[in-house]
Structure 1
């Protein structure tokens, strides 16, 4: 039930993303709790955005003709008269993601888009683009909120803390939410909305201290631990009928991550830090996750957009089901718009949320979402094992932002050398030296 008569204007920065059509469908399905008057796309790749935008135009005309829709490459047009900016950009697109994955694998190091050297390379590319979007938002719509889910989140959030500390930007990630929907399935519930939780860590680097049935208060950790110890977060059956093979292995590998530290439940990304040799051994240096996406998701999404444009109708489209990714963003926008104080995860300066971590560490913890921002909830102390891991990882992330600010080769090398996925400083240097020329269009000149 609507709380007032307001309707909101949103811009999706990254209009050419393969996730954008599904996000739009979810926005339309949630008009009862987050009503819209305008949806805009912004992207600096006009050709890619047009493929998505033309199909979404047909969706909008059929499903919600009363909502204005446009897509543009003009920042002023895009960011004027908006209430929310959704940040979904990938600087360098899949070409650079592929290099993020494949260059480390040349040297026996994890090739993954948000962890290890690849994640740090991606983060360094993202910083100036996100800062630019924040500046456009503040120039053209100074009262707007930016919900950023552009990776690498931890590095971007640290850059925001330093470079735009007073900006209305909230950095989020949906991976814990996806895992919590799996937890709900394991426990016979519907999805993450049915769970209460205590979680702490860094982005793509965290643990659940507690999980409860939100309605009854029942402690679900014993049941979840028993299940995860054998199956990881793999559910199977109809729930996982469309899950890709690489994700199946990821969800199952959580069992091995749990075995190392059985007092908590791990984020799936911990596999890259706990078992880096396993990850390298089971990777194909010539065919990484990017190649799977190009052959599967990207091909399917752009093919569906082409079909919709050709047929002139979006009936029976592939996105006519809720996606956890976009459902979570709608939840957050609703909470901010209507000052509900609901609890979700955000990546914010620690300031005591994890009592034994530095105040200026960017941490991922539960927060209350309100119309004036997010209020972190104390999660207590981190365990000694987790704290040691977090101190190392967040130092890597800070060094990347140092490298950006200082144009420092030394700082970026130190970030690579310190990272748990990299065996020594010489390997770190080789990876960095290979990455520098490839990232020349995006990185500052490192001296």
Structure 2
């Protein structure tokens, strides 16, 4: 059996031990021969630390997986079978700005929602499209598995503007929902299936099944009663108003709190902001602790502290997907992929996050039809925001960026959007070469 070459761009990330663990667990059905961890010069030290931990993990597992670390992306990509992306343009300091600038004006500050999500997309999409060009030249048959946020927008940018059509976006939120609901039902996660539909960080569970029997109403009653518990580490877990959940009739994801509980979420965020404890600042401190752990020459497994980072189940999501493609498993998984008519009313070339049949030829979306009327409007509004943001990221068109931010329901004001956009563009000038015309006029 031919060994696989897998490349992880952003390999110096604190998430990397998750994916190493995932490949180790699945080695019998996913024979990885080479794993290349790639990063940029600013991440050289972290890359070395993570690379050494990865080598210790592989050695402990007694597997013939070669771990390579490099700052040369093109060297790594040559002949790759799968490429995963988990990069952050501007590092965590950019995320801190994405959160603190909106909060300083009284708006939600979050890395993938609202103004923060817009700026992260503007910084990230041109870099991902450069990676796409390299892949088209050096590994044209490779699958790109994108975990870089905002995952849905990044994936759609490649499918609409890039060369590679073998790209799939991924998020750990749906698998976190599956795990939380399995825990609620006190059964193994393998016995739970959820029909997912929506967008990245805007996904809903339409139906929940346990051992093939629909249990949606039972789960909704538990969610209304506040029994679900924490789904992801990076979202404040505020209980829903019970009558709202009953009226909604489908399962919300944690990110819906930014839209359906905006006042409470903003109040909590402003409280953290005033104490200098935004999520981004907490993550930066946590990263420092993690890398101190990773440097321990006796550490040869993923430390449990990594789950606090918000990346829990990453290995189960990314490695499960790669394994299913490689083995043509034809199982059902939620991923970000071209809509192609799966959800009515969303353009065919737009990316949706939906349950798919995973085959050797990629994901085949399960047909959803119309989204429930109670959420269709919000999903359509966010899709408009996403499409226009992607166009702005590719073209550097200031007017489109302003339009996108005004459309977003977390801002919803052209005057406020302009104030936020101008300040955030200036704070990110180094990472926005496509906006050179805008900056030249200032």
Corresponding residue for residue 20 of structure 2: 24
CA distance in 2, matches of 1:276, 1:110: 8
Corresponding residue for residue 151 of structure 1: 149
Describe the superposition over 1:210-237 as per-residue Cα deviations: whole angstroms up to 9, x where unpaired: 0102xx31112122111100115306xx
Q: Does 1:354 align with 2:343?
A: yes
Kindly tell me: are residues 75 and 165 of structure 1, through their superposed partners in 2, closer, same or farther at Cα, counting changes over 3 Å?
closer
CA distance in 2, matches of 1:39, 1:320: 24
Q: Does 1:206 align with 2:203?
A: yes
Q: Does 1:8 align with 2:14?
A: no
Describe the superposition over 1:10-42 as per-residue Cα deviations: whole angstroms up to 9, x where unpaired: 111111111101221221122122121111101
> Match of 2:208, SS?
strand
Describe the superposition over 1:101-146 as per-residue Cα deviations: whole angstroms up to 9, x where unpaired: 1111111110011100101110111101111222222222222111
Give the drift of 1:261.
4.2
Give the drift of 1:179.
1.1
CA distance in 2, matches of 1:233, 1:50: 39
Equivalent position to 2:57, from 52, 56, 59: 59
Equivalent position to 1:335, from 319, 324, 331: 324
CA distance in 1, matches of 2:63, 2:379: 48
CA distance in 2, matches of 1:60, 1:22: 13
Corresponding residue for residue 105 of structure 2: 107
Q: Does 1:274 align with 2:269?
A: no
Equivalent position to 1:294, from 237, 261, 284: 284
> Match of 2:214, SS?
coil
CA distance in 1, matches of 2:373, 2:84: 36
> Match of 1:282, SS?
helix
**Residues 113-124 of structure 1: pairs in structure 2 closer than 5 A:** 113-124=111-122
Give the drift of 1:184.
0.6
CA distance in 1, matches of 2:301, 2:351: 42
CA distance in 2, matches of 1:254, 1:167: 39
Kindly tell me: are residues 99 and 221 of structure 1, through their superposed partners in 2, closer, same or farther at Cα, counting changes over 3 Å?
same
CA distance in 1, matches of 2:183, 2:246: 24
Equivalent position to 1:219, from 203, 210, 214: 214
Per mean C-alpha deviation after superposition, the further-off stretch among 379-388 and 118-127 is: 379-388
Kindly tell me: are residues 257 and 351 of structure 1, through their superposed partners in 2, closer, same or farther at Cα, counting changes over 3 Å?
farther
CA distance in 2, matches of 1:222, 1:327: 27
Length-normalised TM-score, structure 1: 0.90
Q: Does 1:402 align with 2:391?
A: yes
Length-normalised TM-score, structure 2: 0.91
CA distance in 2, matches of 1:360, 1:385: 24
Give the drift of 1:57.
2.5
CA distance in 2, matches of 1:405, 1:138: 18
Kindly tell me: are residues 354 and 108 of structure 1, through their superposed partners in 2, closer, same or farther at Cα, counting changes over 3 Å?
same
5+ residue gaps, structure 1, are none
Give the drift of 1:400.
1.0
Contact 1:177 1:328 in 2 (8 A): yes
Contact 2:29 2:327 in 1 (8 A): no
CA distance in 1, matches of 2:227, 2:70: 43
Give the drift of 1:177.
0.8
CA distance in 2, matches of 1:304, 1:97: 23
CA distance in 2, matches of 1:416, 1:317: 39
Q: How many residues align?
A: 426
Contact 1:254 1:268 in 2 (8 A): no
CA distance in 1, matches of 2:213, 2:347: 33
Give the drift of 1:258.
5.1
Q: Does 1:183 align with 2:191?
A: no
Q: Does 1:33 align with 2:29?
A: yes
CA distance in 2, matches of 1:400, 1:316: 39
Kindly tell me: are residues 356 and 316 of structure 1, through their superposed partners in 2, closer, same or farther at Cα, counting changes over 3 Å?
closer
